[in-house]
Amino acid sequence: MPQTFHRSTNTLSKVSIFGALFLVVGSLFAIAEINRSGYVTQAGVAREQPVPFSHQHHVGGMGVDCRYCHTTVETSATAGIPPTKTCMNCHSQIWNQSPTLEPVRASFRSGQSIEWTRVHDLPDFAYFNHSAHVSKGVGCTTCHGPVDRMPLMWQYSSLQMEWCLDCHRAPEKYVRPKEEVFSVAWQPPPDQIEQGRALVKAYGIQTRTSCSACHR
Amino acid sequence: MSEVPAVRVDLSGVRRRLDGAQGRTYWKSLEELAGTPEFLDFLHREFPSQASEFADPKGRREFLTLMGASLALAGLTACTKQPEEKIVPYVQPPEQAVPGKPLFFATAMLDRGYAKGILVESHLGRPTKIEGNPDHPASLGATDISGQAWVLGLYDPDRAQTLTYRGEIRAWTDFMGALRNALGAQKPRQGVGVRILTEAVTSPTLAAQVREVLAELPAAKWHQWEPMGGASMAARPAVGRPASVQYHFDRADVILSLEADFVVDGPASLRYAREYTARRKRPGAQAMNRLYAVESTPTLTGAIADHRLPLRPSEMEGFARAVAGAVGGGAAAPAPSGATGEWLAAVARDLKAHAGRSLVIAGDYQSPAVHGLAHEINQFLGNVGQTVVYGAPVEAQPVDPLASLAELAADMKAGRVDVLVVLGANPVYSAPADLDFAAAMERVKLRVHLGLYADETAALSHWHIPQAHPLEAWSDARAYDGTTTILQPLIAPLYDSARSAHELLAALTSKPDRKGHDIVKDFWRAQFGGDFDARWRRSLHDGVVAGWTAPAGVAAPSASGDPTTAPRPTAPASSAPGTLEIVFRPDPTIGDGRYANLGWLQELPKPITKLTWDNAALVSPATAQRLSLENGEVVELRYRGRTVKAPVWTLPGQPDDTVTVHLGYGRTRAGRVGDGAGFDANRIRTSDAPWNGTGLEIAKTGETRALACAQDHWSIDENAEPRHLIRSVTVDEYVKEPEAIKEQAENPPRDMTLYPNVKYAGHAWGMSIDLNSCVGCSACVVACVAENNIPVVGREQVAKGREMHWIRVDRYFSGAPQHSETIRAHFQPLPCMQCENAPCEQVCPVAATVHSDEGLNDQVYNRCIGTRYCSNNCPYKVRRFNFLLYQDWNTPTLKLQRNPDVSVRSRGVMEKCTYCVQRIEQARITAHNEGRPIRDGEIQTACQSVCPTQAIVFGDVNDPGSAVSKLKAEHRDYALLGELNTRPRTTYLAEVKNPNPELAGPAAGGGEHHG
């Protein structure tokens, strides 16, 4: 009796089995990659703002320190978005007729806040604290990227949990000397890992990966 | 919920179980002793009636519709992008306001007019949580349950929001016009038709304002109505005039309480509870005090006493008189015979042996005669000036509130009142029935009511003005010892038309339209004199006004007040056995009804009965059996020609033939939460005997009401073997055999486990709960609710065992239910134990509950898919599941209260205590930013910081010097279900009683029942 299936069906079945596996794995990989992409995380997407504030100009061009506006970054969970008053400290003197800055002046006159669009938005169940990171040698640009080259602010990192854990599991990859925390020009040295390990020890950095470190 | 049949408890079965080998030393309810199916259901089903949602056909249809929709959308939910959010910074930042860091402001909460100092946590202008003010003598850093719920009162969406005239919205100027007209007509007549009704007033500013009004209208009258007040008058028999009484429990070795519930009730209760328990913290190593409690309804003070004697209320005065006779002060009185007589003699001998270091304290709801006798005994024993100190009254004008209200009602009935201004009080609801206040109100031409709610009194007033909450307004108040606090607002009034009592009173004077801030500040400017600004700021900052701490002048007991010479009313004859007596008391959680609309307090199980959302007619098991009454059976209470329908609740420890009813329920205009809960006991209450009386009759109605009682919820199964959950010994036993407490149950070696033996290198958080200090007040439960955004689930859900409290206070009884004098209560606060070998963690399929590196049993809400396996596997039953969307996501004012540092949980998520991990992380970040280790005591969990008796101590068990480590090293430290080797981080310190060796009989309670 001849075989029911031709020999070529062996190949066909192998191909379809491995093909199906490949398809499943491939689509899972694709989903994971889409989930990591800027499409989902919004990383790399510059946001429209009521006033086109340029970090490139103020930080890169004028050399304004981060803490001039983000005053509570060393003391509080939030870095702080500057009040209108901070803008007006300078802009009551310079560019005080600029039509671009009219929303700022209007806010100052009326007492109505400027409503900025949030760029870095963690989910509400994640409790991030700026001061804890800044005081342990995590630089602004480590997470926020080259702010001095961003005309409109955009999110540099994915802000996903795997990105948090990357550093929380191995902080030596990213920490820098405390005096360099607010520097936008700092670049990791070639021996970052060794230097990082020394800093982790010196600063008493805990590699905290317990859930309650961030989720409460 | 439909009416369910009342629970029939078979008392003979109870007796058999108590007598038999299965007899239980500690039990939670008669149902447990009798082994009723209802109890077994609660015991064995971790999630009682979980499917009952589908029993309701409408709910089932809705469920299927939703399921269809959610299946179609399943899996897509994770693909949504986060919605865009706005950031709204300040224009000009206020001083010191740092986003992300709360500020704390000192002010005070009011308890029947008296101040208890508080610190209010404010997140960018939103008050969210109340803490006690450690610098305030009536707080010492603690608060009571109503103090914790104070902040919910501010955000209650049912608060009055608009000024109304006969229910229609009007402007303030309309009201002022009407008021000026009426006052203008009164002016030529010296204001003879004007009456002002306030609550008890300790506020110096408010008193000065009332006097200002009375100066302009000399014939007007000021009345005060405080349903639970009158403490200043209590001392009148002793001193001869109104006075304040301060007790010094720290100096008292032997205390006799004549139904004084001093550990939870009254303006100084927080301090008294602290002082009393401070003498019981180190049994064996310190001289313990001894407390005898005589009471006509179970109180927390009686529950924690070394000896407790239930008496019918009519017997109280005779008992006090006999004690006075036995200690030798005053005329001898016939001592009761039998066991009570022996008890009394032993107490009297103990009091005499500790003359000068003993204390007899009569409760606020006792008659003047009992107060006089208590004073007489104290006087004779030389306690006055030692443990009892009399002072000038703290209230601005002390009155007997009931007499004051009765006079007002009589004037109103006689048509002598033209203008009635009610400031805050709600007499239409809370006045005794015989005053017929509602009918009397109708005869007043202009009725003005200022109140937080458009309540029963508002409904009968022409004008209703919404009152500014004390967290929204300026005021001042004094504490029990005269310490003065300036109350500062935390937030601008939520509703524009809200006014404070100060602002309304100003409207009655020739200088209307003054702001509360100016009124209070101007008053204090006159008092402080020079350097005003500095003193004002200092007073606001500290929460106490320096230099105003003691009552002006301390009055010594006057000769005329000496009760041995004063005419004495004859003791009322004790009613014959078999006739029923009635006892009226304020409700343990919602007080006189003013907190009826606060869901946190309605849902808080009442400390002794564990009822929620209802009051009941409390009867003893023996009386219930005699009258064949069942739990939940609605009866008609007939008393002095008036009737009210009430459900029956059997309460072990209640004196026989005595029915206790709690006031505060049966509100009709409390709000959405309070309306329809319970029955109104004021409807059978009369002003001549406001707190107890004889001649009650009970008639069956055939109706039932399913009461939501939490006493059997989350019970730990002891049917197979005793678990020694409560451990209680006498101090003598403890000194003799300190190890016996630990050895009551097996203590398996730490390594006898399949779990990996994890080493905790850094911090290891742990907690110690002292059962000897816990008075069962349940403030920890409300504090936890406020701190952790815990929702209110409502009466029906509580009845199903779905209350969400992360910490519960288990109340156990010991003794024989038929003999109320043997009944003792024991309290055990139970948060998550944070087991090192946590059974819950092993069964979670999605790793939503995992261990932290410091030993916390973390719950990750965003991972939880609601299998509830963890809760099934928890031997302590401390996990809570959101069966429905309990959290209010819509009401704007309630959102303002939420703690921003804690996730707000949604439906389908398990939640539990994590030792207030948000506070741990905040302290860690602060410490690290300052480059130092976390100090011991720096982290206070919410339940710990609120505790009046410091029974809860939290800290690092890896640090041998920490307070918690020292407590855990004590011999009386034991782990709950330690034999399971779950290695709980929360452990308990056993109860140690100090009974009188002379009283070893069944009436002694306490130690002799342990086994």
B123 chain-A contacts, CB cut-off 8 A: none
A49 touches chain B (CB under 8 A): no
Query: Are residues A148 and A59 located together in one domain of the fold?
Result: yes
Are B902 and A216 in contact by the 8 Å Cβ rule? The answer is yes
Mean pLDDT of all residues in B401-427: 93
Lowest average pLDDT, out of B18-22, B120-124, B208-212, B370-374, goes to B18-22
Q: CA-to-CA distance for B800 and B538, rounded, in angstroms?
A: 51
Pull the structure tokens for residue B398: 């002390």
The verdict on a CB contact (< 8 Å) between B86 and A116 is yes
pLDDT at B556 over 50: no
Q: CA-to-CA distance for B601 and B145, rounded, in angstroms?
A: 7
Query: Are residues A105 and A194 located together in one domain of the fold?
Result: no
What percentage of chain B exceeds 90 in pLDDT? Answer: 71
> Does A16 fall in a domain?
no
Q: CA-to-CA distance for B26 and B711, rounded, in angstroms?
A: 13
The verdict on a CB contact (< 8 Å) between A40 and B93 is no
Mean pLDDT of all residues in B280-300: 92
- Give which of B76, B90, B850, B852 to mutate to test A binding, by max A Cβ within 10 Å: B90
A169 chain-B contacts, CB cut-off 8 A: none
C-alpha torsion sign, points B296, B298, B301, B303: positive
Query: Are residues A133 and A177 located together in one domain of the fold?
Result: yes
Mean pLDDT of all residues in B591-610: 94
* Nearest residue on chain B to A137, alpha-carbon basis: B929
Q: CA-to-CA distance for B97 and B82, rounded, in angstroms?
A: 28
Determine the length of chain A. Answer: 216
Helices (H) and strands (E) in chain B, counts: 32, 39
pLDDT confidence bin for B867, thresholds 50/70/90? very high
> Does A2 fall in a domain?
no
pLDDT at B834 over 70: yes
- The domain of A197 spans 55-64+73-79+118-213
Are B371 and B235 in contact by the 8 Å Cβ rule? The answer is yes
Cβ-Cβ pairs closer than 8 A, A with B, add up to 125
The letter for the amino acid at B541 is H
Identify the three-state secondary structure at position B291: strand
In B873-972, which residue ranges form alpha helices assigned H by DSSP?
892-897, 917-929, 942-946, 963-968
Query: Are residues A136 and A208 located together in one domain of the fold?
Result: yes
Q: CA-to-CA distance for A83 and A116, rounded, in angstroms?
A: 11
Alpha-carbon distances, residue B455 vs A101, B445, B451 (angstroms): 52, 19, 8
> Does A197 fall in a domain?
yes
The verdict on a CB contact (< 8 Å) between B87 and A116 is yes
Q: What is the pLDDT of residue B899?
A: 94
Which residues, at least 6 apart from B497, have a Cβ–Cβ distance to it below 8 Å? B161, B162, B163, B172, B465, B466
Using a 10 angstrom Cβ sphere, with 0-12 exposed, 13-18 middle and 19 or more buried, the burial of residue B860 is buried
Q: Which of A40, A113, A210 sits opposite B90 (nearest CB)?
A: A113
Q: Which of A76, A113, A209 sits opposite B91 (nearest CB)?
A: A113
pTM: 0.91
Task: Specify the pairing of strand B484-487 against strand B475-478.
Answer: antiparallel
Among B600, B603, B635, which residue's Cα sits nearest to residue B617?
A: B635
Query: Are residues A204 and A151 located together in one domain of the fold?
Result: yes
Burial annotation B495-505 (CB, 10 A radius, 16+ → b, else e): bebbbbbbbbb
The residue assigned the tokens 């005080």 is A96
pLDDT at B332 over 70: no
Q: What is the pLDDT of residue B51?
A: 47
- Give which of B929, B939, B941, B985 to mutate to test A binding, by max A Cβ within 10 Å: B929
Mean pLDDT of all residues in B310-314: 92
Query: Are residues A132 and A205 located together in one domain of the fold?
Result: yes
Query: Are residues A126 and A209 located together in one domain of the fold?
Result: yes
Beta bridge partners of B583: B660, B692
Lowest average pLDDT, out of A134-143, B225-234, B371-380, B964-973, goes to B225-234
Q: What is the pLDDT of residue B3?
A: 42
Contacts 24+ apart (CB under 8 A), A60-65: A60/A148, A60/A149, A60/A184, A65/A182
pLDDT at B179 over 90: yes
Lowest average pLDDT, out of A1-5, B245-249, B629-633, B655-659, goes to A1-5
- Give which of B81, B84, B87 to mutate to test A binding, by max A Cβ within 10 Å: B87
B85 chain-A contacts, CB cut-off 8 A: 117-118, 121
CA distance A30 to chain B (A): 13
| Residue scoring higher pLDDT (B70 or B523) | B523
Among B104, B716, B181, which residue's Cα sits nearest to residue B419?
A: B181
The verdict on a CB contact (< 8 Å) between B88 and A132 is no
B850 touches chain A (CB under 8 A): yes
DSSP B1001: S
Q: How many domains does chain A have?
A: 2
The residue assigned the tokens 């989910």 is A123
Look at phi and psi of residue B724 and say left if phi exceeds 0, alpha if psi is from -120 to 50, else beta: left
Q: CA-to-CA distance for B787 and B793, rounded, in angstroms?
A: 17
The verdict on a CB contact (< 8 Å) between A212 and B858 is yes
A111 touches chain B (CB under 8 A): yes
| Residue scoring higher pLDDT (B589 or B64) | B589
Q: What is the pLDDT of residue B341?
A: 87
Are B376 and B564 in contact by the 8 Å Cβ rule? The answer is yes
Burial annotation B447-476 (CB, 10 A radius, 16+ → b, else e): bbbbbbbbbbbbbbbbbbbbbbbbbbbbbb
A81 touches chain B (CB under 8 A): yes
Burial annotation A135-171 (CB, 10 A radius, 16+ → b, else e): bbbbbbbbbbbebbebeebbbbbbbeeeebeebbeeb
Q: Give, in degrees to the nearest 5, the angle at Cα A59 between A57 and A62.
A: 65
Among B947, B970, B945, B738, which residue's Cα sits nearest to residue B278?
A: B947
Query: Are residues A198 and A106 located together in one domain of the fold?
Result: no
pLDDT at B1009 over 50: no
pLDDT confidence bin for B286, thresholds 50/70/90? confident
The verdict on a CB contact (< 8 Å) between A117 and B86 is yes
Mean pLDDT of all residues in A99-121: 93
Q: CA-to-CA distance for A93 and A192, rounded, in angstroms?
A: 44
Contacts 24+ apart (CB under 8 A), B434-438: B434/B686, B434/B687, B434/B688, B435/B405, B435/B406, B435/B409, B435/B687, B436/B409, B437/B405, B437/B409
The verdict on a CB contact (< 8 Å) between A211 and B850 is yes
pLDDT confidence bin for B284, thresholds 50/70/90? confident
Lowest average pLDDT, out of B114-123, B230-239, B651-660, B853-862, goes to B230-239
Q: Which of A74, A82, A113 sits opposite B88 (nearest CB)?
A: A113
> Does A50 fall in a domain?
no
B904 chain-A contacts, CB cut-off 8 A: 124
Are B871 and B882 in contact by the 8 Å Cβ rule? The answer is no
Query: Are residues A169 and A99 located together in one domain of the fold?
Result: no
Beta bridge partners of B388: B247, B384
> Does A141 fall in a domain?
yes
Mean pLDDT of all residues in A114-136: 93
Mean pLDDT of all residues in B507-513: 88
DSSP codes of every residue in B97-135 = -BTTB-EEEEEEEEETTEEEEEEEEEETTEEEEEEE-TT
pLDDT at B1003 over 90: no
The verdict on a CB contact (< 8 Å) between B87 and A118 is yes
Neighbours of B40 (CB within 10 A): 16
pLDDT confidence bin for B28, thresholds 50/70/90? confident
Using a 10 angstrom Cβ sphere, with 0-12 exposed, 13-18 middle and 19 or more buried, the burial of residue B353 is exposed
The verdict on a CB contact (< 8 Å) between B89 and A114 is yes
Q: CA-to-CA distance for B807 and B809, rounded, in angstroms?
A: 7
CA B808 from centroid of its chain's CA atoms:
14
Q: What is the pLDDT of residues B343-373, one digit of tens each?
A: 999 999 999 999 999 999 999 899 888 998 9
pLDDT confidence bin for B550, thresholds 50/70/90? low
Query: Are residues A110 and A191 located together in one domain of the fold?
Result: no
Q: CA-to-CA distance for B600 and B803, rounded, in angstroms?
A: 11
Among B655, B609, B696, B621, which residue's Cα sits nearest to residue B296?
A: B655
Neighbours of A14 (CB within 10 A): 10
Q: CA-to-CA distance for B410 and B434, rounded, in angstroms?
A: 11
Are B373 and B321 in contact by the 8 Å Cβ rule? The answer is yes
pLDDT confidence bin for B153, thresholds 50/70/90? very high
The verdict on a CB contact (< 8 Å) between A118 and B85 is yes
B95 touches chain A (CB under 8 A): no
Q: CA-to-CA distance for B611 and B604, rounded, in angstroms?
A: 8
Q: What is the pLDDT of residues B418-475, one digit of tens each?
A: 999 999 999 999 999 999 999 999 999 999 999 999 999 999 999 999 999 999 999 9
Mean pLDDT of all residues in B595-604: 95
Q: What is the pLDDT of residue B756?
A: 84
Q: What is the pLDDT of residue B10?
A: 62
> Does A151 fall in a domain?
yes
pLDDT confidence bin for B558, thresholds 50/70/90? very low
Query: Are residues A123 and A182 located together in one domain of the fold?
Result: yes
Q: What is the pLDDT of residues B777-818, one digit of tens each?
A: 999 999 999 999 999 999 999 999 999 999 999 999 998 888
Beta bridge partners of B689: B686
Q: What is the pLDDT of residue B788?
A: 95
pLDDT at B68 over 80: no
Neighbours of A132 (CB within 10 A): 19
ipTM of this predicted complex?
A: 0.90
Q: Which domains does chain B carry? A: 11-47+712-993 (3.30.70.20), 244-391 (3.40.228.10), 580-709 (2.40.40.20)
A116 touches chain B (CB under 8 A): yes
Q: Which of A115, A117, A216 sits opposite B917 (nearest CB)?
A: A216
Measured over all CA atoms, what is the biggest interatomic distance in chain A, rounded to whole angstroms?
99
* Nearest residue on chain B to A123, alpha-carbon basis: B82
> Does A11 fall in a domain?
no
CA A152 from centroid of its chain's CA atoms:
14
pLDDT confidence bin for B33, thresholds 50/70/90? confident
pLDDT confidence bin for B8, thresholds 50/70/90? low
pLDDT at B78 over 80: no
> Does A129 fall in a domain?
yes
Q: What is the pLDDT of residue B751?
A: 83
B914 touches chain A (CB under 8 A): yes
Query: Are residues A104 and A181 located together in one domain of the fold?
Result: no
Q: What is the pLDDT of residues A3-23, one digit of tens each?
A: 788 888 889 999 999 999 999
E-state strands within B472-595: 475-478, 484-487, 580-586
Q: CA-to-CA distance for B607 and A34, rounded, in angstroms?
A: 55
Pull the structure tokens for residue B985: 């981080």
In B821-962, which residue ranges form alpha helices assigned H by DSSP?
839-842, 869-872, 892-897, 917-929, 942-946
Q: What is the pLDDT of residue B15?
A: 62
pLDDT confidence bin for B577, thresholds 50/70/90? low
B851 chain-A contacts, CB cut-off 8 A: 210
